[in-house]
């Protein structure tokens, strides 16, 4: 006779209705605000900026070595085997007349407003700090003025006239003679020095797009008293400084992007005109000495003086460059959380928002779990 089978979960109801005597509760943190969706125009703009970064931010040490090699080897070849004449071989070409001869003016035209707008933003409106950053262009202008006039003085006072009737350049040329002096290339100096200054000043835009995320998260943290972003670079800013940062970033970023594109375009033009100068103007020694002086001035100021003064581009009241990568810690010694954070997929150097938000949510869940364990 078949026996009646017992239910598999005889006391399922009682177990489901069981409640612990003590209930544990914790305050859940709200999610961080998500970034606004990007439009097609913004995506295209980011692509253009990415190309500009790749074009402008070549390793400066490599670029300086290329400059030195071209000034020596290519100039030497041009002296021995003259290159065929072209549009750029004429000093009357439009790029030489309207750009190179006014080279430092064009450099200041884009670098000056870029420096003002960027420094005002990351210095949170502190005018004394903005003036300190502006001092770099003042020193660079003095270097340009001193060396260009020095080159002209050497060429005018250390030469000879053909015929040898006259001892000064002005009298010689006025009498229809030809003056042969040691004509150090002012164009080579201006083009190389301007390009190196543009590269250094443009470095303030590295990590610039990430400031938007810092502002959004910091604003959320301050309004919700969220301590999970206590390691934010903006945590030490006062309320006034934070509001100035937010306002100036939103107001000036479109102009900063446009100026950065202009700086990249000008840098490419300076490189093209430098090749033209190497191929068609002056002799090798005149160009090499001028280029060496330009490189020396750049090294003394940006690699030594400004670094010693802590006055490099991008140094303000908070740090925003290379925040996601801890280069001082070896890869095999980094924690798993750091590795996961640094492995976020990126597009053109910027972290993908979806992947970053997933990582932030997982971090919040870990914080909540640790809070529960603490109370247990």
Catalytic residues: 187, 282
Both structure tokens of 39: 């439009």
Contact 181, 166 (CB under 8 A): no
- Rounded to whole angstroms, how far apart are CA atoms 156 and 30? 73
- CA dist 273 and 188 (Å) reads 9
Contacts 24+ apart (CB under 8 A), 226-234: 226/29, 226/30, 228/29, 228/363, 228/364, 228/367, 229/32, 233/318, 233/319, 233/320, 233/323, 234/318
Least Cα distance to 91 among 229, 194, 187 occurs for 187
Crossing angle for the helix pair 210-224 and 239-280, to the nearest 10 degrees: 180
Cross-strand pairs, 33: none
Q: Any idea what DSSP says for residue 310?
A: T
- Token pair, residue 12, equals 């399922």
List Cα–Cα distances, 324 to 210, 212, 281, 320, in angstroms. 10, 14, 47, 10
Residue with tokens 């306002």: 247
Token readout for 183 is 């004509």
Reading the block at residue 34, the tokens are 């998500």
Q: Which residues of 146-174 are buried (b: 16+ CB within 10 A; e: fewer)?
A: ebbeebeeebeeebebeeeebeebeebee
Cis peptide upstream of residue 163 (ω within 30 degrees of 0): yes
User: How many other CB atoms are found less than 10 A from the CB of residue 234?
Assistant: 23
């Amino acid at each position: 006779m078949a026996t009646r089978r017992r239910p598999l979960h005889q006391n399922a109801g009682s177990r489901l209705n069981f409640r612990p005597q003590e209930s544990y509760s914790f305050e859940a943190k709200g999610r961080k605000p998500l970034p606004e969706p990007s439009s097609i125009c913004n995506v295209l703009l980011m692509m253009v900026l990415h190309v500009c970064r790749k074009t402008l931010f070549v390793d400066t040490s490599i670029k300086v070595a290329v400059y030195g090699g071209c000034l020596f080897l290519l100039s030497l070849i041009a002296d021995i085997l003259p290159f065929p004449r072209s549009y750029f071989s004429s000093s009357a070409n439009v790029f030489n007349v309207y750009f190179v001869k006014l080279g430092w003016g064009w450099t200041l035209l884009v670098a000056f407003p870029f420096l003002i707008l960027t420094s005002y933003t990351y210095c949170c409106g502190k005018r004394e700090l903005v003036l300190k950053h502006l001092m770099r262009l003042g020193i660079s202008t003095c270097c340009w003025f001193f060396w260009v006039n020095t080159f002209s003085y050497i060429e005018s006072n250390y030469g000879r006239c053909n015929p040898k009737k006259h001892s000064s350049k002005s009298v010689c040329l006025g009498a229809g003679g030809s003056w042969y002096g040691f004509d150090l290339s002012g164009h080579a100096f201006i083009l190389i020095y301007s390009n190196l200054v543009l590269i250094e000043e443009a470095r303030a835009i590295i990590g610039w797009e990430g400031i938007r995320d810092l502002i959004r998260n910091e604003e959320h943290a301050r309004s919700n008293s969220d301590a999970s972003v206590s390691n934010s670079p903006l945590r030490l800013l006062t309320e006034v400084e934070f509001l100035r940062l937010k306002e100036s970033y939103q107001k000036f970023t479109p102009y900063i992007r446009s100026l950065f594109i202009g700086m990249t375009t000008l840098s490419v033009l300076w490189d093209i005109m430098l090749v033209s100068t190497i191929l068609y103007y002056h002799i090798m020694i005149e160009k090499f000495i001028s280029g060496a002086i330009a490189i020396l001035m750049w090294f003394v100021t940006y690699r030594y003086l400004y670094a010693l003064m802590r006055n490099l581009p991008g140094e303000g009241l908070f740090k925003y460059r290379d925040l996601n990568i801890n280069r001082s810690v070896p890869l095999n010694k980094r924690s798993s959380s750091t590795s996961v954070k640094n492995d976020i997929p990126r597009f053109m150097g910027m972290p993908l928002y979806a992947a970053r938000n997933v990582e932030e949510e997982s971090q919040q869940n870990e914080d909540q779990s640790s809070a529960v364990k603490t109370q247990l």
